Chains A and B, each alone.
Chain A
């Protein structure tokens, strides 16, 4: 074998799925299998650290977090990867899936932090010349 085998987990999953399915289908199922498992892990960690809820509430929370991260991971990963040419989207799939599912219902807090950062930046920029 001349070529070095890729150790990227997404590539490995694609090869594993290729044993069963056609190459085209495996290219979709392979990455999404790992994203699904990572999303389940993140949602489970968040569920365990949340204030206690009933059965149906925890079940719906789990389903919602998993599906949201399953849907949002690939677009956000490709957005992040488009920042630099050397970055590849597939390296961001699993960490982003865990992070998104772990964030789940607290996305407003993170949005607030970002808004505050922008506010502080603008205020500092506006006050740059003046002396305190």
Chain B
């Protein structure tokens, strides 16, 4: 088999996958962390896969190229959700569970701040009493 052509095709398809990941990562502000992680991981792995002949001396096979082509097809066919930025259900503010977590976090932080100021006042009083 002609390896040069295969490597070029492999690199091109992985580059397209990574490019789609970069475009979507640019719209990720305020999106669930696991959705961010999907695309960060996919970007890194597509780079590793595309450069694998140079980096790890692993040669692409026809089947692996078909697999990456199918990943590219999945991303392309998923594009309608990303026409106007990130999809609505992926936003943190629209997710009730994340809202609850954020509220609890804020409350806990206020409580901690209160406790710390109390502790500081106590230490001041004790040190002045001496």
Contact residues of A with B, CB < 8 Å? 13, 16-17, 19-21, 29, 33, 36-37, 40-41, 44-45, 47-55, 57-59, 61-62
Contact = CB atoms under 8 A, between A and B. Distances in A.
B44 A19 contact: no
Interface string B34-62: 00100110011001100101111100000
A73 B53 CA distance: 23
Contacts of A20: 53, 57
A48 B56 contact: no
Contacts of B31: 48
B19 interface: yes
B22 interface: yes
Summarize A's interface: helix, strand, loop or mixed. Answer: helix
Interface of B: 19, 21-23, 25-29, 31, 36, 39-40, 43-44, 47-48, 51, 53-57, 85-86
B27 A40 contact: no
Contacts of B19: 59
B56 A33 contact: yes
B7 to A, nearest CB: 12
A40 B28 contact: no
Given A36-B55, A37-B55, 13 more contacts: A20-B53, A29-B54, A37-B47, A40-B47, A45-B40, A47-B22, A47-B25, A48-B28, A50-B29, A52-B26, A53-B26, A57-B26, A61-B26
Nearest to A59: B22
Given A29-B54, A48-B39, A55 B23 contact: yes
